[in-house]
Structure 1
Amino acid sequence: MHIVVATTRGGLDDFVSQHFGRAQTFTVVDVDESGNITDVRVVPNPAHSAPRAAGIQAAQFCIDNGANAVIAGTFGPNASQVLQTAGIKFISVPPMMTVEQAIKTFLHEEL
């Protein structure tokens, strides 16, 4: 499973960004069938500084990169619609949650 998490600097210890489309980076986490994290990559969000439609562009990036789920603090209505149409789960988390906490909580179906 490929999970994309909106972040500021990236990594498992970073906090989940509260703004999906304008997040500076995405932390891409691969999880195996047993729920173990197998790979973590930090990639720049190509839509971070887009003049408009950042949420749509960020959602398209997630689609293009094979995301099964996306985690952020909030999603705009356009980004939500694009992700939903693509069949990608999108999960909102409260402030001050780390990427690792968000992944574990999601995998235990507590979000």
Structure 2
Amino acid sequence: MSSCDAAVVAPTSFDTLRLGRSAQVTVAPLLRFWDSRNIKEQGEFMGITLLFLDEQNSVIHEFIHTARLTHYRPSLRSGSIVKGSRFEVARCTNMYKITDNPFVILLE
């Protein structure tokens, strides 16, 4: 995941994402992000949850695991255009579902 110039790379439509790891790339505005904590484990920090908006005004969320935070956290800015690559697309479980999108993007 890295910031990029919106004029250089076209936005992504999330309905083109496929399950699993592949050479998929996303380009979308970062709407918001926040720390995610495990309420069952005394608030243990698990990572960061991010919300992205695609060209069709569809929202998807992404989760960045704690092991990857030092690389990504310094560049996170709400409203910035973000290019993402080298990620996994997984089905979102009902327990963690925060958007209408059936998928979640994972950086672990």
TM-score, normalised on structure 2? 0.27
Q: Which is richer in helix?
A: 1
Q: Which is richer in strand?
A: 2
- The structure showing larger relative contact order (alpha-carbon pairs under 8 Å, at least 6 residues apart) is 2
Larger Rg belongs to: 2
